[in-house]
Amino acid sequence: MQNIRKYVHDNKQRFLDELFDLLRFPSVSADPKYKAEMLKTAEFVADKLKIAGADLVEICPTAGYPIVYGEKILDASLPTVLVYGHYDVQPPDPLELWKTPPFEPTIRDEKIYARGSCDDKGQFYMHVKAFELMMKTNTLPCNIKFMIEGEEEVGSSNLAIFVSDNKEKLKADVVLISDTSMISLEHPSLETGLRGLSYVEVEVTGPDRDLHSGVYGGAVANPATILAKLIASLHDENNHITIPGFYDDVLELSASEREMLNKAPYNENEYKIDLKVDELWGEKGYTTLERTGTRPTLEVNGIWGGYIGEGAKTVLPSKAFAKISMRLVPNQQSDKITKLFKDHFESIAPKSVKVKVTPHHGGEPVVTPTDSIAYKAAQKAIFESFGKEPIPTRGGGSIPIVALFEKELGIKTVLMGFGLDSDNLHSPNEKFDIANFYKGIETIPLFHKYFAELSK
């Protein structure tokens, strides 16, 4: 632990400078206009892996953005850890709400503000630096493989193909991912589950052209009004989702599981104050921690139609659209839910409009075991670096790839996240606390150490 702390201390500034260089790439996978920057980002990551000491580094092409692969094989007999991360980031808009530009990393009260600072550049880069540390201090206790993709924010569809095509290359004993959050540095935690995702886009078409709302108002269905009615009908008065069969596969938690889960530190008042809302909202009968961690949800991610410019236009629009995503919990299946949504949404549309539902992407929910060698290694690592036992939590986010690893490679994942829920992931002013960045670099080598020891 001393050597680790010393190495981190001696290289503090350089680690930060390198992360800043990485954060300056606007690697937005959702928007084709950033293609060139995406490729530069992949090259940057590959270079850093080489410099850190990987024997083999490849930029693997896919039908979409390339996957950066790197490895250091000490001895085939040693256990192997596969580190996963992603170099792509969410779109930065609405830009006007950023205090400082999203791709010009800025430090304010010990926090790094930049798109991707926490999700996931800042977090996967901790692994690159921890790897460098272990190489330079000759303390790497196991084989290590890196797979850093560029399409996590758009569904990882090409990664899925890559994984099933490269099972031998990716052979490992555990997957280690830092792309989630912990409660706080005072309350370190480990996520033991993730929600799945089903993301669709809906289009409602009324008349074949925009119409004068005076001449035609009252005579033809307004697609914006109909879309509102359709969306409104997706939650009942208790905020249960009304799609038939939606909850069929949901496994209810046991009383003890719920009790355990609700032990996590949570202050509803602080939560409301942080978000500046007077009242929370959600499915009746469940606590906030349960609603975000263990219950499926349906959210409108975007809605648009008609005239949205300056001033007033008295138009009856021809079309209205919405992007809608559902978070899924263990035992629900993304494809099945997408179909249930499509069938239901099309079935409730009135004859006065035409409705089209286009699936975007999805991912399966996962639960990670808490009795595995890998989980125990993570517990010991965190205990040593934080001086506290990690609290097991359920994450509300989705990392589709986790379920895929289990299916394709037959290995479990450890979700050792060092971000915070308050890091504004996917929002303006995304940040990552510098302390968490360094803490991660310190903790990761300990995970490798204990994983190797416990695997003996």
Residues 289-348 that bind its own copies (CB under 8 A): 291-292, 295, 297, 299-317, 320-323, 325, 327
DSSP letters along 243-256, please? STTTTTTPPPPPHH
C-beta separation of 99 from 429 below 8 A: yes
Mark 124-163 with x for binding to its own copies (rule: CB under 8 A) and - for no binding.
-----------------------------xxx--------
136 vs 360, beta carbon nearer its own copies: 360
| 332-354 residues labelled b (16+ CB within 10 A) or e (exposed) | bbbebbbebbbebbeeebeeebe
CB of 229 to its own copies, least distance (A): 4
Mark 374-413 with x for binding to its own copies (rule: CB under 8 A) and - for no binding.
---------------------xxxx---------------
The kind and range of the H/E element at 192 are: strand 189-194
Size, binding site for its own copies by CB under 8 A: 101
Chain centre distance of CA 36: 23
Q: Name which of residues 53 to 112 contact its own copies (CB under 8 A).
A: 90-91, 93-94, 97
210 contributes a contact to its own copies by CB under 8 A: yes
62 vs 455, beta carbon nearer its own copies: 62
105 vs 296, beta carbon nearer its own copies: 296
Q: Which two tokens stand for residue 291?
A: 């609603």
CB of 157 to its own copies, least distance (A): 11
CB of 447 to its own copies, least distance (A): 24
Q: Name which of residues 24 to 43 contact its own copies (CB under 8 A).
A: 29-32
d(CA 267, CA 271): 6
- Residue 197: name the closest of 58, 334, 305 by CA: 334
C-beta separation of 205 from 318 below 8 A: yes
Of 75, 208, 270, 371, the residue at the interface with its own copies (CB under 8 A) is 208
d(CA 184, CA 136): 30
135 vs 315, beta carbon nearer its own copies: 315
CB of 285 to its own copies, least distance (A): 12
d(CA 158, CA 60): 11
Which of the ranges 183-191, 244-252, 272-280, 385-393 carries the binding residues for its own copies, by CB under 8 A?
272-280
Question: What's the one-letter identity of residue 412?
Answer: K
d(CA 345, CA 234): 9
181 vs 443, beta carbon nearer its own copies: 181
Q: Which two tokens stand for residue 300?
A: 């409108």
d(CA 227, CA 283): 22
CB of 215 to its own copies, least distance (A): 5
d(CA 358, CA 376): 42
Of 138, 255, 256, 276, the residue at the interface with its own copies (CB under 8 A) is 276
107 vs 228, beta carbon nearer its own copies: 228
Q: Which two tokens stand for residue 260?
A: 């355990």
